[in-house]
Amino acid sequence: MSKHLLTLPRLRVQNANCISSPMTWGFPAITAFTGFMVALQRRLMQKAGEANALAASLRFESVGVVCHRFEPQVTTGGYTRSFALTRNPVLQDGGTAAIVEEGRAHLDISLVFTVHTAQGYVSDEDAQAAAEAVAAEVAGMRLAGGSIMPTLQKLRAPQRTPRMEVLKAEPEDQLKQFKQLRRRLLPGFALVTRDDVLQQRLQTLQAEHAAQATTTSASAAPTLLDAWLDLSRINHRAQSDEATGQVTWKQDARPGWLVPMPVGFATLSSYETGTVANARDANTPFRFVESVYSIGQWVSPHRLEIAEAFMWKPEYDPELGLYRCVNGYRAPDDKAPSAEADMAAERGDSENDTSSSNPNQLDFD
């Protein structure tokens, strides 16, 4: 089997679900994109013999997400924002229907899939035909509950044309290939995991707690939840100058554009097939689950070296009952750039463009 990179650039999604979990809102959960990948493969398999034979034989492994534009449908006045809700039709008796709060957002994204084909050699013409067949199938699907709209024709052809290319075998060739791909993904930001930052913050909080325990009354030791909440907010701390007596407020340094995010689900209880009334599928065992959380980071594609760095794939651990999306990003040894530096560098590059079970996660309602 040969391995390919399938790129669907500049997808416009209207009214996508932006309530990603019980505790977060904003960009849709990464499980929405891995679920979209599975649904796409199933639809292609069902149309084997009707559509492009190569497209129907594709086996999807992982998906990378690059966001070019995010427009949440919220109110803009005041400090506190609320979702812009739609008015439902009146009831039969003329009464007002109840309003169900739902968060919606418009997206402009690019998707990059890692796919496998049974064919040993695929010509450029066949690969392009397969990419266009997949794009045609995607046009009739929903992504994160939103509708996929036609690509804007004002974009240049390289920015709006789907592509499928063989993933090079040699690391040097892969680097050169990905450099061309990431330039086509600019301007934008890719979502990656930062489990290491979550673990580092936990160690910092535990060290601060141990130092304070010697001078103050004992309190509960920090947990992963405390570290996750600490990274989910902007902290301002007061620092006093003993010489002048002046107090200044400083913001905690961050290693980039960090965001709290759901990464999967953890099993609460399991039931045999057919034992739960009104289940969607009577042939599949039923499970109640809760969300699993971690920390993610938005990184400009030009800072990534390989495609696997922003690829997500679902994994399942039957012993732990854990459904989790994993990502292969590894932070560089040097200090990670700030979000402002990322955006500044991204603008410069875009102007010159010519073409498993993890201890660093949270599971709770």
Cβ atoms of 265 and 323 within 8 Å: the answer is yes
Q: Which amino acid is at 73?
A: Q
144 dihedral zone (left: phi>0; alpha: psi -120 to 50; beta): left
pLDDT band at 324; cut points 50, 70, 90: very high
Q: Is the pLDDT of residue 338 over 50?
A: no
Q: What is the pLDDT averaged over residues 289-300?
A: 94
Q: Who contacts 161 (Cβ-Cβ below 8 Å, separation ≥6)?
A: 9
Look at residues 31, 2, 311, 36 and name the one whose alpha carbon lies nearest to residue 146: 36
Q: What percent of the chain has pLDDT over 70?
A: 86
Q: Helices 224-232 and 195-213 sit at what angle, rounded to 10 degrees? A: 110
- pLDDT digit string (tens) for 138-162? 999 999 999 998 877 766 666 788 9
Give the residue-averaged pLDDT of 108-127. 86
pTM score, whole prediction: 0.83
- pLDDT tier for residue 94 given thresholds of 50, 70 and 90: confident
Q: Which tens digit of pLDDT belongs to each residue from 45-63? A: 887 666 678 888 889 999 9
Q: How confident is the model at residue 347 (pLDDT cuts 50, 70, 90)?
A: very low
How is residue 141 annotated by DSSP? Answer: S
Question: What is the rounded distance in angstroms from the CA atom of residue 311 to the CA atom of residue 113?
Answer: 8
Whether 169 has a pLDDT exceeding 60, the answer reads yes
* Average pLDDT of span 243-260: 87
Task: Provide mean pLDDT across the span 236-242.
Answer: 85
Answer yes or no: are the C-beta atoms of 149 and 14 closer than 8 Å.
yes
Residue 290 has pLDDT above 50, yes or no: yes
pLDDT digits (tens, 9 = 90+) for 29-39: 999 999 999 99
Q: How many CB atoms lie within 10 A of CB 282?
A: 10
